[in-house]
Chain A
Amino acid sequence: DTGVSQDPRHKITKRGQNVTFRCDPISEHNRLYWYRQTLGQGPEFLTYFQNEAQLEKSRLLSDRFSAERPKGSFSTLEIQRTEQGDSAMYLCASKSTGGNTIYFGEGSWLTVV
């Protein structure tokens, strides 16, 4: 399968702990996106990268959130000092620069207890 892959698929953590999610985009795609989705809502944009450069961050991305794409391939999203409100599905997506369409991974579910 050469689609977008995310790891882990599910994570349960205690409030205050740090968590990290990984995303491997489609190999020829240089754009990578992170979205967050809560129950009953559509995905909300968090941030995106063009190769290794982080080009835009949503105001939803508080200081506790950090995303990296050090070599322009895979990306990580770290959440520090998790709060119950962080519980959501974190979706990664990728796109080629000239294309119209972004392709999503299967998501990483986070539950903060």
Chain B
Amino acid sequence: TQLLEQSPQFLSIQEGENLTVYCNSSSVFSSLQWYRQEPGEGPVLLVTVVTGGEVKKLKRLTFQFGDARKDSSLHITAAQPGDTGLYLCAGARDTNAGKSTFGDGTTLTVKP
């Protein structure tokens, strides 16, 4: 059973466009992370959100945690080819254990 659904699965856009990817669940998470992963490498942490309704910004990336802590979104403004990669969300239901459940990711391709 996939607890975290990410959409879209694939996204191909032109440089300069904006985009939003989603991470949805029926479960409540104590914290949620977004990672970016390049082929053959491990996931690299982008952000952690812990409070319902929280919004965090990282340069052109804006992350939002849903009020009920069941879903999250990642918005990228003016995408660049360097943003290309697999974007994974991961939720932890028990912060003390820290074990995370991952979605299957959104593969983003930004064409120059």
Q: Which B residues fall within an 8 A CB radius of A? A: 4, 31, 33, 35, 40-45, 48, 50, 88, 90, 92, 95-105
Contacts and interface: CB of A to CB of B under 8 A. Distances in A.
Nearest to A41: B104
B45 A95 contact: no
Nearest to A45: B99
A33 B90 contact: no
A86 interface: no
B3 to A, nearest CB: 11
A102 B42 contact: no
Given A91-B42, A104-B42, A109-B40, A44 B48 contact: no
Interface string A89-103: 101000101011111
Interface string A74-113: 0000000000000001010001010111111111010000
A22 to B, nearest CB: 15
B44 A43 contact: no
Nearest to A99: B98
A56 B44 contact: no
A95 B104 contact: no
Given A100-B31, A100-B48, A100-B50, A43 B97 contact: no
B98 A45 contact: no
A48 interface: yes
Q: Which 3 A-B pairs have the closest CB atoms?
A: A42-B102, A104-B42, A107-B42
A104 to B, nearest CB: 4
Contacts of A41: 104-105
B41 to A, nearest CB: 5
A106 B98 contact: no
A104 B48 contact: no
Given A40-B104, A41-B104, A107-B42, A33 B48 contact: no
A69 interface: no
